[in-house]
């Protein structure tokens, strides 16, 4: 017999993630415990649109000594300190307990805007459309050579961002990263069994239940997944079987820009702060025309109960399994009720 909604919000239980074949522990009763641990200092983006000391502002010299273009829209350049590089060295071992393999790839940086002070929710819709089109160009260019192109953004000092200028990153690789490999395997297995994409079936059920939906439009849905690990984690999904960003129609690009703006605005409005997160896109691997894969965006914010209290993945999470305090249903309700008009634009 399934548990009632009241019990699932109050009692410890586990939830299964069919995308990566992992379980998480949900402990909603812990969210009211006293907090005497670390609290973060609130940091807001600088109010100035140009910072002469910023390595990413137009025309400035980066730490590497290279100079940025005087860009007006998105600006893409090779990462001066790339984590993955073109590699002619053969580094591999087939020893059972000492396996290794060569990695080839490339890394790039995407400055979203010349304006140093504006993050995604504060940009105009046309700017967001420009960012999506920049992502599409990056996929086109890099997928000619690499199997996987990971587009992502780390926003906020609390989340490891080393420069406050609004920007994202791209790490392209000749291999499928571990998390992507798991998603690919599980989506494929589900499709072979059901002749339907896992994420489309999941989305249909979520829309019918209407318990974890944050916002939606004709083409896209944002929800807190049933198996969410981070407190305010969300999943951005298309409502039709789209497997890659480069398959989007012009109208779908515009509606994607709108829902990204709506989601990131709700994040900022949740605690009236520039909300930190790590986000990224999972499109089908390069060269595949797979029916099982549905493109999707992951958003992983680290905040737990306020703008200054962070969720740490430590202890049991490292040694046992991932654990969360607030239920996915409670988190989605909080995000859903947050305004999609940015708090900086609201009258005092």
Q: Which residues are CB-contacts of 271 (< 8 A; sequence separation ≥ 6)? A: 303, 306, 307
Tokens 């105009």: give the residue.
Answer: 124
- DSSP for 151-165 reads EEEEESGGGT-S--S
Buried b (16+ CB within 10 A) or exposed e, 23-41: ebbbbbeeeeeeeeeeebe
DSSP H helices in the chain: 5-10, 125-142, 178-194, 198-209, 250-271, 316-319, 328-337
Q: 3-class DSSP state for residue 221?
A: strand
* Tokens coding 274: 């520039």
Gap between the Cα atoms of 165 and 155, Å rounded: 10
> Does the annotation mark 175 as catalytic?
no
Task: Please name which of 137, 77, 163, 169 lies closest in space to residue 67, comparing C-alpha atoms.
Answer: 77
Q: 3-class DSSP state for residue 333?
A: helix
Gap between the Cα atoms of 216 and 316, Å rounded: 35
Cβ burial, residue 92 (10 Å; 0-12/13-18/19+): exposed
Contact 120, 130 (CB under 8 A): no
Give strand pairing partners of 78.
108
CA angle 56, 59, 64 (to 5 degrees): 55
Q: Which residues are CB-contacts of 135 (< 8 A; sequence separation ≥ 6)? A: 110, 151, 245, 281
Active-site position among 116, 165, 167, 298: 167
Give strand pairing partners of 171.
107, 150
Catalytic positions, written as ranges: 167
């Amino acid at each position: 017999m399934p548990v009632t909604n009241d019990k699932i919000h109050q009692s410890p239980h586990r939830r299964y993630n069919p995308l990566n074949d992992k379980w998480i522990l949900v402990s909603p009763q812990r969210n009211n415990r006293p907090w005497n641990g670390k609290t973060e200092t609130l940091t807001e983006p600088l109010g100035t649109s140009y910072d002469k000391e910023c390595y990413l502002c137009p025309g400035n010299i980066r730490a590497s000594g290279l100079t940025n273009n005087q860009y007006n829209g998105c600006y893409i350049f090779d990462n001066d300190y790339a984590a993955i590089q073109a590699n002619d060295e053969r580094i591999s071992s087939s020893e059972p307990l000492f396996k290794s393999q060569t990695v080839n790839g490339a890394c790039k940086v995407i400055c979203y805007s010349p304006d140093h002070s504006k993050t995604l929710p504060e940009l105009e819709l046309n700017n967001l459309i420009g960012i999506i089109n920049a992502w599409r160009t990056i996929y086109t260019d890099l997928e000619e050579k690499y199997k996987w192109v990971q587009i992502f953004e780390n926003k906020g000092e609390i989340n490891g961002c080393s420069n406050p200028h609004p920007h994202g990153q791209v790490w392209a690789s000749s291999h499928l990263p571990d998390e992507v490999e798991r998603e690919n395997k599980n989506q494929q297995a589900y499709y072979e069994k059901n002749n339907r994409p896992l994420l489309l079936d999941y989305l249909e059920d979520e829309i019918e239940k209407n318990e974890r939906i944050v916002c939606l439009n004709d083409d896209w849905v944002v929800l807190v997944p049933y198996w969410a690990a981070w407190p305010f984690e969300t999943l951005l999904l298309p409502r039709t079987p789209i497997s890659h960003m480069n398959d989007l129609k012009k109208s779908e690009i515009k509606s994607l820009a709108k829902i990204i703006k709506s989601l990131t605005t709700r994040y900022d409005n949740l605690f009236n702060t520039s909300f930190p997160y790590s986000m990224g896109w999972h499109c089908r691997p390069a060269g595949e025309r797979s029916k099982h894969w549905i493109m999707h965006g992951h958003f992983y914010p680290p905040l737990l109960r306020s703008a200054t209290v962070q969720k740490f993945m430590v202890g049991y999470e490292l040694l046992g399994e991932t654990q969360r305090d607030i239920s996915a249903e409670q988190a989605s309700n909080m995000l859903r009720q947050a305004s999609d008009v940015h708090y900086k634009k609201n009258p005092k």
